[in-house]
Structure 1
Amino acid sequence: MCGMPQQPPVRSSPTRPSRPDASMSLITNVMDHSLDDGYAEAAARRKTQGGGGLPKTLRAKLGLASGLVLAALVVTLGAAQARVAAPVVAKERQELIDRIDTETSAADRLEGSVDKLRDEVGARQRAALRSSGGSTEADLVGLLSGATPVHGPGVKLVVNDAKEASGGGEGSNPRETSGFSDTGRVRDRDMQRVVNGLWASGAEAVSINGQRLTALSAIRAAGDAILVDNKPLVPPYTVLAVGDGQKLSTRFQDSPDGLYLHALRENYGVRATISTEGDVRLPAAPSVIVRTAQPLADTTEKGTS
């Protein structure tokens, strides 16, 4: 019995498990080959040739040089434009200065004419009053009202900003509530208190930096400047007061306004000195015209019956 040849057993080769991302072949290819083949070949070729293009240091130097050239060009153009505009600006500035000088000279001439006319009017008034026998009373009224110059014993009070005074910003002045200044600058309300204190202490006539004060005078501020009858003054502020020198000085320093000035000097560096004088001279006030309201005339037409 012949047997059938025995066949070797067939062994099935094991199959490799499929990748979980087999269904995402496009994404897998992009992730595995993030660099395009063309770029990779170019990089390899450049590496084989020893590098191409300009060296990095040379490229950096060329970039820096280009930036410097551009900056120099901008500066040159700006300087040329400024040089062209400079004569025009200088000419306009000089014209403005000449105009200011001309107007100032004209104002000075007008002020001189006013003073001359005021002296003439005053002399004629006094002559007319002497002829009517009322010169003494008129002189006293003119003295007290500030209409005539005056001189005599009195005091000299000099008030100045602190040595390191600062302007201070708007809204930073605590005197809005406390009445004092932490900036070291003398303000209009300080001078108001000084003048009122001198009047209350017995002064017969007062002036600030040559400006005679009357019952119609006003001390106000425009920014950091102090105005007396709308005329700006600059520190130091020299206050002259006619009166009994020693008594006036003592009364003022002991008054609330004198103590106020002392507090400004001690706490905020405001400088103030007072001295008695044998003879101080005060000019006449620029204007003592009293303006009063007048009722309008009745212009209603009455009908006739």
Structure 2
Amino acid sequence: MSLITNVMDHSLDDGYAETAARRRADGDGGMPKTLRAKLGLAGGLVLAALIVTVGAAQARVAAPVVAKERGELIDRIDQETEAVDRLEDSIDELRADVSVRQRDALRDSGGDGSTLVGILSGAVAVHGPGVRLVVNDAKDTSVGGGSDARSTSGFSDTGRVRDRDMQRVVNGLWESGAEAVSINGQRLTALSAIRAAGDAILVDNRPLVPPYTVLAVGDGGKLSERFQNSADGLYLHALQENYGIRTAISVEDDVRLPAAPRVIVRTAQPITEKGTS
């Protein structure tokens, strides 16, 4: 209890108390004593108050301007968004018109073979008997062993499906008699490109993800047999044996392939009869 009483009675340290008393005696503490010091303090306070007042006034004046600029920016964004939407609608209409004109041109110039020309070019949707081939990465994409089925193509020892694999699969189906081919719903044409971007496979610059479902229209039984016995079919089988890549092929009574998004003729020249210039 005596300790608590002493702390309560002497809450300020004796050294602090002596220093404060000495400053009071010397006239160093408290408010400024001279007129100059008082005027300096008053000027400082007035200047600080003026800065605060001017800042508040400027903020109040600028607030409506900022709000107006923000509103104008929002209006411009809405206008540009509407303009983009209109342009996209116009593009869709033009694409539909181009597709109709392409089909009419094929019909007018191709005669009885216009349907076949449209199918082979990918300009029209097609369905019929064919095969379904599913190619997927290995469960463990780091497995490998035996002879390197892809050593000549510069591939690493991995169970991941590569763009070169899908190129060989598609070319093998074409060579085996396929009339139309698609990968994951992406219709292939004579101008289609299968490329790689890192680990992703791009078909006409559109990324695809495994499993890769390849649909091919043709004589289902013969197409399946010819493909599996072809060099590309044996190549795919070697990938399955050596790398664990999963494949499954089945004959289908009816497979449906969409039309290609666009069919672009890059070069063309008129055909002239012999003997004419």
Identity of aligned residues (%): 77
1:276-300 alpha-carbon deviations (Å, 9 max, x no partner): 0111111111221121399xxxxxx
Question: Which residue in 2 is equivalent to 1:277?
Answer: 252
**2:234 maps to what in 1?**
259
> Does residue 169 of structure 2 align to residue 221 of structure 1?
no
> Which shows bigger deviation, 179-188 or 279-288?
179-188
Output the CA distance in 2 between the equivalents of 1:176 and 1:113: 49
Contact 1:180 1:264 in 2 (8 A): no
In 2, are the aligned partners of 1:146 and 1:288 still within 8 Å (CA)?
yes
Aligned-partner Cα distance in 2 for 1:167–1:226: 20
Q: 1:147 aligns with which of 106, 112, 123?
A: 123
TM-score normalised by structure 2 residue count:
0.58
- Indicate yes or no: 2:165 matched with 1:210: no
Equivalent in 88, 99, 104 of residue 122 of structure 1: 99
119, 144, 161: which one aligns with 2:137? 161
- Please name the residue that 2:113 is paired with: 137
Q: Alpha-carbon deviation of 1:221?
A: 0.3
- Shift of residue 142 of structure 1? 1.1
Partner of 2:211: 236
Is the contact between residue 123 and residue 260 of structure 2 (CA under 8 Å) also seen in structure 1?
yes
Number of equivalences:
183
Q: Is the contact made by 2:178 and 2:218 (CA closer than 8 Å) also made in structure 1?
A: yes
Structure 1 distance, partners of 2:110, 2:245, is: 46
User: Which structure 2 residues correspond to residues 1-305 of structure 1 after superposition, within 5 A?
Assistant: 110=88, 117-124=94-101, 126=103, 135-166=111-142, 175=150, 177=152, 182-292=157-267
TM-score under structure 1 length normalisation: 0.53
8 Å contact from structure 2 (residues 130, 218) kept in 1: yes
Q: CA deviation at 1:241?
A: 0.3
Following the alignment from structure 1 to structure 2, what is the Cα–Cα distance between the partners of residues 155 and 113? 38
Distance 1:197 1:174, change over 3 A: closer
**Helix, strand or coil at the partner of 1:177:** helix
Give structure 2 stretches of 5+ with no counterpart. Answer: 1-80, 270-277
Q: Does the C-alpha gap of structure 1 residues 125 and 290 become closer, same or farther in structure 2, counting only changes over 3 Å? A: closer
Amino acid at match of 2:262: S
The superposition leaves residues 248-275 of structure 1 with CA deviations (integer Å, 9 ceiling, x where unpaired) of 0000000000000000001110000000
Paired residue secondary structure (2:263)? coil
Provide Cα deviations, 1:194-218, integer angstroms capped at 9, x if missing partner: 0000000000000001111111011
Q: Distance in 2 between matches of 1:180 and 1:284?
A: 33
Contact kept? 1:220, 1:227, Cα under 8 Å: yes
Corresponding residue SS for 1:155: strand
Distance 1:129 1:143, change over 3 A: closer
Q: Pick the structure with greater CA Rg.
A: 1
1:181 and 1:268 in contact (8 A); partners too: no
Given that 1:154 and 1:242 are in contact with CA atoms closer than 8 Å, whether structure 2 keeps it comes out as yes
Unaligned runs of 5+ in 1: 1-102, 295-305
Greater Cα offset, 202-211 or 280-289: 280-289
Q: C-alpha displacement at 1:167, in angstroms?
A: 11
The Cα of 1:122 is off from its aligned counterpart by 3.4
Question: Per-residue deviation at 1:149?
Answer: 0.6
